[in-house]
Structure 1
Amino acid sequence: MRMIFGLVLILGVGLAGFAVYMAQDYITQAQAERDYLLATQAEAPQLIDVVVTKKPLKYGERFSKMDLEVIKVQAGKAPDTAFQAITGPQGVENAPRAVFFEGETRARAALRSYEPFEPLLASKVTAPGLDAGIMANLAPNMRAFTINVDVASGVSGFLRPGDRVDVYWSGASGNTQVTKLIDTNLKLIAIDQSADADRSEETMIARTVTAEVTPKQVAALTLAQSTGRLTLSLVGTSDTMAVGAIEIDRDHLLGIKAPEVIEVEAGKVCTIRTRKAGELIETEIPCTN
């Protein structure tokens, strides 16, 4: 009996030791996994919320809160003007940029086409309740000015809303024909009656373009358009060169030099007067001084 009790005791101690060993091994493994997960989490990129569309949107199409959802993207990989929340409070400092303020029921409209799950951009949608068009594209305190163009002055129909152009004026200055750069880097907000920057129809020659300008530029361009001919020059998207004053006349263009006018002092004339038969006679003689 004592032998059986001793065997049972030895077996129990052995099982207990084995259980402790297994527990220690499990704890060690769990701690290693925990440390690995913490290290991986620390190295993982930070994620932020971005609002995307759940369906395709065309230019001018209205959308509401039901057409949007929030996804996670890597911080620093989203556009600066992307929305971070579908709804949010108004007037709260450091609040996430929201598509709609709380309580807003008016829809917004897309200013360009969107594909499903594409980030929604604040600069590419209208304000709530506003349709797409020139009004939606105008920056605060700016004006819309329309310029008449043709195939030559309008860059052969390659202009699109959002492009930037330089404006040249050609006309008479006195008796000379002159071409002068009068404005630079004007933003176009509409071509003919379309403000859609994503229009995909074949290239057509525009009859008018509408630019975003200041009130002072409106006055200058109105005068220029009524006194001469305006020509547009398309500015490249990567152009950073500052353009100075440019003016050229016909003579400079053709390399014609104006004739020099040399003033010659009239020669001094000396005379001597004599009387002959009562008549006064004046005779030229060389001047001695």
Structure 2
Amino acid sequence: MRAIFAVVLLVGLGLAGFAVYMAQNYIQGYQAALAKERAGRQDIELVDGYTVSRAMKYGETLLKEDVRIVKWPAAAMPEGMFTSVEELFPKGDNRSRVVVRAMEKGEVLIAAKLTKPGEEAGITSRLARGQRAFAIKVDVASGVSGFLRPGDRVDVYWTGRAGSKNDSRGDFTKLIEANVSLIAIDQTADEEVDTGNIARTVTVAALPQQVAALAQAQSTGSLSLSLVGAEDDTIASAIEVDQRALLGIEAEVEEVVKQEAKARVCTIKTRKGGDVLQIPIPCTN
């Protein structure tokens, strides 16, 4: 019995020693891998950011319960992101901010999506420094069949006749403004407005010089809009098309017909009694 007990004890001690050895190897391997991972890890600087806690639509008032704080990588901060509650809700200022762009739950808050404290969500909040709002009358043809929305960009074409009615070019069309931003359709500046409705007016953001050009063009002819693609960053060059270019007719060359000069006749006058006679003579010059 004692011999069997000794054998079992020795086997148990051997298994225990082997288990300890395996555990030590596992722990050492794990620690080595952890140390290697920590050595290769770079510290990421985080800043406070704010997101909306629910979906919000254009024109809604932003309240403190509508936002929540999140940690955001400093290197990936979007332009205009709020990083402190004082920036979002200034102390001592009870005026509210209004949403000007629809946001989904969890979307980060930036200045471009909100008005300034106390400012309405109208077209004035969409005008950059130095810009003015100008309304253009449109219909189903000139307004791109109702597919325009606030935030789109358009090229503006003018069609009319310049100069006198005898102008051989007839009516012609010319690009007068390119890449103009739309800030309102009829009486709404909501970018989420349903498309397909035929607008009567569109409002664009333009510099005073552009406003003067658009006003003059609208009073002397008709304006048409051409929708620019969302990712199109090209600027259209000067474009002008008249009836002759449209139909491929070459300009007519007016022939000037010269009339032959009449033969010059030289005469002298003589008097015979009461009659005066004219007698032809050769011209000396």
Shift of 1:156: 0.7
Whole-Å separation in 2 of the counterparts to 1:26 and 1:273: 138
Whole-Å separation in 1 of the counterparts to 2:33 and 2:267: 132
Map 1:205-224 onto structure 2 (within 5 A): 205-224=198-217
1:230-278 per-residue CA deviation (whole Å, 9 max, x = no partner) reads 1111112222333232223223323252342324263462546589997
Percent of aligned pairs with the same amino acid: 43
1:35 aligns with 2:35: yes
Shift of 1:76: 4.8
Aligned match of 2:184: 190
Aligned match of 2:131: 142
C-alpha change, 1:242 and 1:56, in structure 2 (3 Å) is: closer
Task: Identify the match of residue 253 of structure 1 among 246, 268, 273.
Answer: 246
Aligned match of 2:81: 83
Q: Secondary structure of 2:171's partner? A: strand
Whole-Å separation in 2 of the counterparts to 1:69 and 1:103: 21
Whole-Å separation in 2 of the counterparts to 1:183 and 1:26: 72
Whole-Å separation in 1 of the counterparts to 2:211 and 2:244: 31
- Paired residues in the alignment total 254
Aligned match of 1:238: 231
Q: Secondary structure of 1:182's partner? A: strand
Map 1:270-285 onto structure 2 (within 5 A): 270-271=264-265, 279-280=277-278, 282=280
Runs of 4+ displaced beyond 6 Å = 24-31, 274-278
Q: Is the 8 A contact 1:57 1:114 kept in 2?
A: yes
Question: RMSD between aligned alpha carbons?
Answer: 3.3
1:112 aligns with 2:101: yes
Whole-Å separation in 1 of the counterparts to 2:172 and 2:269: 64
Q: Give, as a single letter, the amino acid of the residue that structure 2 aligns with 1:32.
A: A
Whole-Å separation in 1 of the counterparts to 2:236 and 2:67: 43
Whole-Å separation in 1 of the counterparts to 2:267 and 2:195: 92
Q: TM-score, normalised by structure 2?
A: 0.75
1:73-101 per-residue CA deviation (whole Å, 9 max, x = no partner) reads 445555x235242423xxxxxxxxx3233
- Compare the two structures and name the one with the higher strand fraction: 1
Aligned match of 1:9: none
Q: TM-score, normalised by structure 1?
A: 0.74
Question: Which of 270-279 and 155-164 deviates more?
Answer: 270-279
